[in-house]
Structure 1
Amino acid sequence: MLDITKPSTAQSSIPFDADRLDRLLDDADIDVLCASSKHNVQYLLGGHRAFFFESMDAMGLSRYLPVLIYPKDNRQKAAYFGHRMESYQKENNPFWVSEAQTNSSGSLDVMAKAMDYTRRAGVKTKRIAAELSFLPVDAGNALRKAFPDSEIVDAVFVLERLRAVKSPAELAQLRIASEGVIDSMLAVIAKHGPGASKRKLTEALRREETSRGLIFDYCLITAGSSLNRAPSEQTWEQGDILSLDSGGNCHGYIGDLCRMAIQGEPDAELEDLLGEIEDIQRAAMKPIKAGATGSVIYAAAEPLVQKSKHHNHMHFLAHGMGL
């Protein structure tokens, strides 16, 4: 029952901008894309993620490895190769690719099936882009052995460029995750007083995020004057500042935010520091618009940081929402 090898009934539309992907592959002189990270396979398949391997990839003497093959300018020959446990999900929600084999078990098995299909598809394979950081050594060696005359290059830049522009659906997921994290932090701060340990606060945040439908990923937490951000038995006491920096996962999209609190009332120095930080952040946000590069954010913020009398104790960082 699980060894289903027939091509899936393709969905009516491709869930990403295939024209853009073809252009990016062409610009990089890449003939075939071989995606093998769970997050990029999920994106390219329109949301599919193997629930059986959500938490751990280890499996017997090998590991779970999803493989999606996308030949440039040949989207009709795109194919997916996964574990046999994914057959149930494929039956419920068929993939858009014309070939979908969910009958593998282990990294070498799945790569052998993917490479056999690529040869039979008759597509050009002079340059193959693989996710080298997400490809086990055994599967990578199998890829090179299957195509000894091909150049294997890294697919990371092409996939980063493809996914940099978020769709409305992705933005909605990020908003749900972000708002859920903020609400969870505010709930934890409101429910805990002096004497709560960082470990207890972290566990409370995990429960709050989970109750809002998120998967708790992490919490970087500091209390008082210590800059140690790991959970511990250190307690949050009267007059102490608390910093919660956490990521909550919503269907593969992470809301990553930070909120700070104090036990008691902040003094004038803290109020002034917060005001200065807010001014820098607002200045950094002002030049943000469609088409602007990340450098304009730093160009707006760094001069203000350097002008501050606290510049030796300040650090400015702007990062994206990830993929």
Structure 2
Amino acid sequence: MALHFDGQELADRKSLLLAEMQTAKLDAMLLFAQESMYWLTGYDTFGFCFFQCMIVEKTGEVTLLTRSADLRQARHTSNVETIVIWEDRANANPARELKELLTERDLLGGRIGVEYDTHGLTAKNGRLLDDALNTFAKLDDASQIVPRLRAIKSPAEIAYVKKAAELADNALDAAIPLIKAGADESRILAAMQGAIFEGGGDYPGNEFIIGSGEDALLCRYKSGRRVLEDNDQITLEWAGVYRHYHAAMMRTALTGKPTDRHLELYEAAKAALAACEEAMRPGNTFGDVFAAHAQAMADADLIRHRLNACGYSLGAHFTPCWMDMPMFFAANPEPIQPNMTLFAHMIIMDSETQTAMTLGQTYLTQEGDPVNLSRHTLDLIVG
């Protein structure tokens, strides 16, 4: 069995979940988020793109309903003892097989929480689920129960996050010497991802972002590579990943002589990140952090060039995205608590002058000021 956490750690997590279920008066929960399954049992797969469900009963019993391709995966990577296979076949309806399992567990007429808000439950499968269970039990949307538990990291998780942060730094170390005129983006990307793999890391929850020239103004991955030119710009967003735990970073680097606009936007990004750090402490909310970002951008007359969010929680996450909840956006009432790992990104995209500037890094919250998990400074990178 390949578990990344000891039995006591996983038992403690189950106790936290059962307590939340008791508060919500749930007889069972249906977990569809791969992140929830991994956090609770260690179960590690990408088979969640098909229908699979982890049943957690208020008694503490855990059952996994999945496909045959994931049977050995579940046995090897998790502490789940009861694994039931639904059969791939024409016109298969695994929701009906889930209903049979719930019937066997005497949950008819019970109150069942469902993780609806996840990529692990497609709209089609969600409809099949509701059709199968809408007269069987009272269904509650319990999508936020496990994410709120996952947002607070245990000491064992923090150790993995710190390793991920080290790998993120290693990736930047590999990239910096290559950022110069004549360099191919492909080599930079290969060096960064290679440094993480060589350090024992994992694939990220989404692709690294890399774009130069006008593509530096994009904050999503796109296919296609480019060769850097003199007096060019390149935006990089990446994450070190260890045991699926992410520590993200973001930088816009330059070749040749920075323009005055680049320098202006860099100073604004650095000031905004400092304002976010000041707000990123217990007693404040995620909305307070965004407000600090928004005010700093307003002070620099950059409202039209900023985004409507400036970061988010990080943790163990699976494709198609490494972003976790809660997020830094306007009026988000979620409280900042100790032992959260939070990524703050300052993204300024001036389409009028085709100028990009970004700064971002991952923090560990504590009482008082947050801890920056990167060993790198925020100095502007010029190759």
User: What's the TM-score bracket when you normalise by the shorter of the two chains?
Assistant: 0.7 to 0.9
* 2:176 equivalent to 1:184: no
The change in CA–CA distance for 1:105 and 1:209 in structure 2 (over 3 A counts) is farther
Q: Distance in 1 between matches of 2:258 and 2:72?
A: 55
**CA offsets 1:17-76 (integer angstroms, 9 cap, x no match):** 34432343344443320112322111111x2214xxx3x667xxxx4x43211123x21x
Look up the match of 1:67: 53
Q: Which residue is 1:294 aligned to?
A: 286
- 2:128 aligned with 1:135, yes or no? no
Offset, 1:185: 2.8
Q: Are 1:24 and 1:162, in contact at CA under 8 Å, matched by a contact in 2?
A: no
Report the Cα distance in structure 2 between the residues aligned to 1:102 and 1:126, rounded to whole angstroms: 21
Aligned twin of 1:245: 237
Partner of 2:151: 164
User: Structure 2 CA distance, aligned partners of 1:92 and 1:39?
Assistant: 17
SS of equivalent residue, structure 1 residue 170 = helix
Question: What is the TM-score of this pair, normalised by structure 2?
Answer: 0.66
Which residue identity lines up with residue 120 of structure 1 in the other structure?
Answer: E
Separation of aligned partners in 2, 1:313 and 1:90: 46
Amino acid at match of 2:213: G
Q: Given that residues 42 and 48 in structure 1 are in contact (C-alpha distance below 8 angstroms), is that contact kept between their aligned partners in structure 2?
A: yes
CA distances 1:165-224 after superposition (whole Å, capped 9, x unpaired): 122222222222233123213312313531234345334433333333331441222323
CA distance in 2, matches of 1:320, 1:20: 20
Q: Which residue in the other structure is 2:297 paired with? A: 305
Deviation string, structure 1 residues 252-284 (Cα, Å, up to 9, x no partner): 223322122211343555334322321221111
Distance in 1, matches of 2:275 and 2:63, equals 46
Instruction: Please say which of residues 113-122 and 29-38 is displaced more in the overlay.
Output: 113-122
Structure 2 unpaired stretches of 5+: 1-6, 315-323, 326-383
CA drift of 1:297 comes to 0.9
Q: What is the aligned residue count?
A: 299
Distance 1:247 1:218, change over 3 A: farther
Q: What CA distance in whole angstroms lies between the structure 2 residues aligned with 1:91 and 1:157?
A: 27
Structure 1 distance, partners of 2:295, 2:179, is 38
Cα 1:29–1:201 change in 2 (3 A) is: same
Who is 1:215 aligned against? 203
2:131 and 2:93 map into 1 onto residues whose CA distance is: 15
Query: Radius of gyration: which is bigger?
Result: 1
Please name the residue that 2:273 is paired with: 281
CA distance in 1, matches of 2:125, 2:305: 46
- Are 2:87 and 1:101 aligned? no
Structure 2 contact 184–228 (Cα < 8 Å) conserved: yes
Select the residue among 196, 203, 224 that pairs with 1:232.
224
Counterpart CA distance in 2 for 1:202 and 1:90 is 32
Partners of 2:268 and 2:296 within 8 A in 1:
no
Cα shift at 1:314: 3.5
Are residue 37 (structure 1) and residue 33 (structure 2) matched? yes
Query: What is the letter of the counterpart of residue 173 of structure 1?
Result: Y
The answer on whether the counterparts of 1:71 and 1:123 sit within 8 Å (CA) in structure 2 is no
Structure 1 pair 262–317 and aligned structure 2 pair: CA distance change class (3 A): same
Indicate the residue corresponding to 2:362 in structure 1: none
AA in 2 matched with 1:302: A
The percent identity for this pair of structures is 18
1:49 aligns with 2:35: no
**CA RMSD in angstroms, aligned pairs only:** 3.3
Are the equivalent residues in 2 in contact too, given 1:38–1:66 (CA < 8 A)?
no
1:4 — aligned with what?
none
CA distance in 2, matches of 1:314, 1:147: 44
- Take 2:160 and 2:291, find their aligned partners in 1: how far apart are those partners? 30
CA drift at 1:135: 2.6
Q: Distance in 2 between matches of 1:48 and 1:110?
A: 20
CA distance in 2, matches of 1:235, 1:66: 43
